[in-house]
Structure 1
Amino acid sequence: MKILLSNKSDLPIYEQIKTQIKEQILSGAIAENEFLPSIRQLAKDLGISVITTTRAYSDLENEGFIATLRGKGSYVLPKDSELVREQYLKKIEEALMLAIENGKLANISNDELIVIFKALLDEQI
């Protein structure tokens, strides 16, 4: 598991950790049922507070990505296809909102944005 933290990021450190672990789970880089480093070990490896890693793991557990077994640690839950789909839908919506905002800034009409989107879709076939 690779975690890269940036002091220049707008995201808090716990959010950077959570996001990177989530992306690795979704991509399959961290396999289902694989145990994650302990909260203390991850904090030590990253040179951060145990409270910070606890928050990241807690959020991942609340979102259904990991589970914690008392005395054994945290492991990756099997991917729920609906959960994975929702995560990707959220990313798509964010990307499309950014495209819409940029289109408005560039004075591009909705119809032109749709043409661009359809052209990009056609290139993927």
Structure 2
Amino acid sequence: MNIKISISDTTPIYEQLKNQIKKAIFLGELKSGDMLPSIRQLAKALKISVITTKRAYDDLEAENFIISKQGKGSYVSEQSIEFIKEKRKILIEEKITELINLCKTYSIEKSELMYMIDLLF
């Protein structure tokens, strides 16, 4: 698992960590049952606070991406492929909504947006 934290990013560090772990799960780099580094190990490796790492893990557990077992560690939860696909769709829908709102703010028409998407996709 290759995690990079950017101090210059305006996104909070725990969110950066959480998002990168989610991405690794979505891309299949982390699979159901894979063990994650301990909170302390990951905090030390990334040179961040244990509290920050714990918050990311707690959020991931609340969203059912990981399961933490007292004294045994944290693991990628046993999720069905359909669950992961649905989570991906939700994430994409959120980003598309942000993009549409940005286009409305800058008076970019749907046809112009679609042209840009076709060009860049």
Which stretch shows the higher mean deviation, 46-55 or 92-101?
92-101
CA distance in 1, matches of 2:45, 2:24: 18
Partner of 1:98: 98
Offset from partner CA, 1:37-56 (integer Å, 9 cap, x none): 00100011011111111111
Q: Report which of the two structures shows the higher radius of gyration computed on alpha carbons.
A: 1
Partner of 1:42: 42
TM-score (norm 2): 0.82
CA distance in 1, matches of 2:7, 2:73: 28
Query: Compared with structure 1, are the counterparts of its residues 61 and 17 closer, same or farther at alpha carbon in structure 2 (3 Å cutoff)?
Result: same
Query: Compared with structure 1, are the counterparts of its residues 23 and 79 closer, same or farther at alpha carbon in structure 2 (3 Å cutoff)?
Result: same
Query: Compared with structure 1, are the counterparts of its residues 69 and 102 closer, same or farther at alpha carbon in structure 2 (3 Å cutoff)?
Result: closer
Partner of 2:23: 23
Secondary structure at the residue paired with 1:75? strand
Secondary structure at the residue paired with 1:74? strand
- Where does structure 1 lack aligned partners over 5 or more consecutive residues? none
Q: Which amino acid aligns with 1:79?
A: Q
Q: Does structure 1 conserve the Cα–Cα contact (< 8 Å) formed by 2:26 and 2:88?
A: no
Offset from partner CA, 1:72-93 (integer Å, 9 cap, x none): 1001112234432332222222
Partner of 1:73: 73
- Tell me the CA shift for residue 106 of structure 1: 4.9
Q: Does structure 2 conserve the Cα–Cα contact (< 8 Å) formed by 1:103 and 1:113?
A: no
User: Identity of counterpart residues, as a percentage?
Assistant: 45
CA distance in 1, matches of 2:54, 2:23: 18
- Where does structure 2 lack aligned partners over 5 or more consecutive residues? none
- Tell me the CA shift for residue 102 of structure 1: 4.1
